[in-house]
Structure 1
Amino acid sequence: MEPQNSDRREPRRRPTYTIRRIKPSDFSEVAAILAKSMKDDDLYTAVFPRREEHYDISLDGFLRLTKERYWTPGCVMYVAVTAPDGDNCSHIEKIVGHASWKRTGTSPAAQIWTSENEGGWNGLQLSLCRTQDSLARYFQPNKTIVEKPPPSPQFDDNFPSSIFPELWYLATLAVDPEYRGQGIDKLLAQRGIHHAVEENVPLGLESSARGRKLYDKMGFKLFKTTVIGEMAVPVMVWEPPRPSVETEKAREWQGMNGTTQIYTRYP
């Protein structure tokens, strides 16, 4: 009988992550991840070439952007966080990634998402965010740019409502550089795909060179090429699979019976 090796160690477990909705207490961490992640992003570099020289300005801009999106009707924001390892009761959650989606359209499903951020208090918060942003831009000129950047294509230029009356649009996806290569970006993108399949609407995004490989693997297709600054940027679309005959019949039955809430949702 061989003696037991007292120095034998358990194999190190691969860290796991989970996705949840963003909270106001997450704003600072999310802004820091955006600022770090965009340091080597080709699109961001083209527009803000001096971002590393003025990191504090970049960080402050991302913080204002995160707050404004949080209060904007139709914006749906998620964070990727470290999950507890087994029975580790002392686990401290760490945010390692972020995705910001925008749901457009006039369908009942779109209106459900839009109604989340409607109302007096939300409207007031959004107005305050936009006022703060305007004041910051006036009193603190953006030193991360060399000259005034050329106007970027608007959302409607890339995703015209005549072609995409209903859409889930991925405005931002960022992963902490220290946690790249662990599938976190895919987890964040899959959350949007879940909603798109559930509501039977397409997804749209403008891809950086770094993200193109992931989106190709996930089934996104090139819709068109736009230009930001002097850079050609792929505009990509993901189409949900065609629903089965049984699914279509179920939806018709629900409509005939007056059921309007036919979508389930992640919290």
Structure 2
Amino acid sequence: MHIRPLSRSDIPRVAAIALAAFEKDELYTFLYPRLQDYPDDFRRYQLISLRSRFVRLGCHGYVAVTDRDEIMGYAFFQRVAGPDAADAKKAQRWIQDSWLNKLERHLLSWEDSYHDLFDKAVDHTRVSQFLNQSRKARTVYKAVSPCWQLAILAVDPEYQRRGVGSMLICEAQRLARLDNVPLILESSEAARSLYEKSGFKHLSSGEVCGMKDVKLIWYPDVQVGEVQTNEQRELKNALN
């Protein structure tokens, strides 16, 4: 088993993994209450979402594969730049763009809007409610930027409990070490133990749309004085 960057040709297989992994997920069953009746609409949403992440600025996808290159799981990591010019320059190597990506983002915005009009699986009121509440809950992230964010991670049910998720987490930690910045994520209570075994610490807890929302943080193995901002230094001291 090993980790490699996600390629465009991987997206259909990754979408199938997302469908299998999230079909009974608490959040997705809340946002997509008619998922079982209209699975094709949910599958189409996953494809658009994955393609959008693939061309999003600062977003990087990775897959865990077998020795035969069969995809077992995937994750996307987002580089979040800090407020100072020094980090903006450091982060720039992760935020490269091209005219093809710009064009695809534009086309995907139209495709996404069209899909929303005819998506029978989704509840748009619940989506708006979730986006508003989660946006407010993420204000805690301002204290830890610059950082890497583990945006999403999913493992094919056939390969779960085999260390695939831990491999993908290690890749995210490797990127955070390269930049000497924290790694943050949002977790359900069910997945929390997986991240804590990998060294993550509790950052904050709350509720979004009646569901428990846990934010976790991991710092590279550096001295406290090397943490880039005063806010990060104070937060790390508090966590330790």
TM-score tier after normalising by the smaller chain length:
0.7 to 0.9
Residue 212 in structure 1 maps to residue 196 in structure 2: no
Corresponding residue of 1:104: 80
Aligned residues: 219
Distance across 2 between alignment mates of 1:146 and 1:134: 12
Deviation of 1:51 after TM superposition, in Å, equals 2.0
CA contact (8 A) 2:61 2:76 kept: yes
Please name the residue that 1:3 is paired with: none
Quickly say closer, same or farther: Cα 1:170–1:26, change in 2 above 3 A. same
Give the match for residue 129 of structure 1.
Answer: 108
Distance in 2 (CA, whole Å) between partners of 1:189 and 1:156 is 26
CA 1:229–1:111: 2 relative to 1, 3 Å = same
How far the C-alpha of 1:160 sits from its partner, in A, is 4.6
Q: Which ranges in structure 2 are unaligned for 5 or more consecutive residues?
A: 227-240
Q: Distance in 2 between matches of 1:103 and 1:156?
A: 20
Which structure 2 residues correspond to residues 1-267 of structure 1 after superposition, within 5 A? 17-83=1-67, 91=68, 93-106=69-82, 107=87, 108-115=89-96, 118-138=97-117, 140-145=118-123, 148-149=126-127, 150-152=129-131, 153-154=133-134, 157-158=137-138, 160=140, 162-243=142-223
Task: Give the number of the structure whose residues are more often helix, by fraction.
Answer: 2
Contact kept in structure 2, 1:54 and 1:144, CA below 8 Å: no
1:258 aligns with none
1:237 counterpart SS class: strand
- Give the distance between the partners of 1:55 and 1:62, measured in 2 at CA: 11
Deviates more, 1:184-193 or 1:118-127: 118-127
Return the index of the structure with the highest Cα Rg: 1
What are structure 1's unaligned runs of at least 5 residues?
A: 1-16, 84-90, 249-267
RMSD: 2.1
Query: Which residue of structure 2 lines up, in the alignment, with residue 86 of structure 1?
Result: none
Instruction: Give the TM-score normalised by structure 1.
Output: 0.75
Q: Tell me how far apart the structure 1 counterparts of residues 135 and 77 of structure 2 sit (CA, whole Å).
A: 13
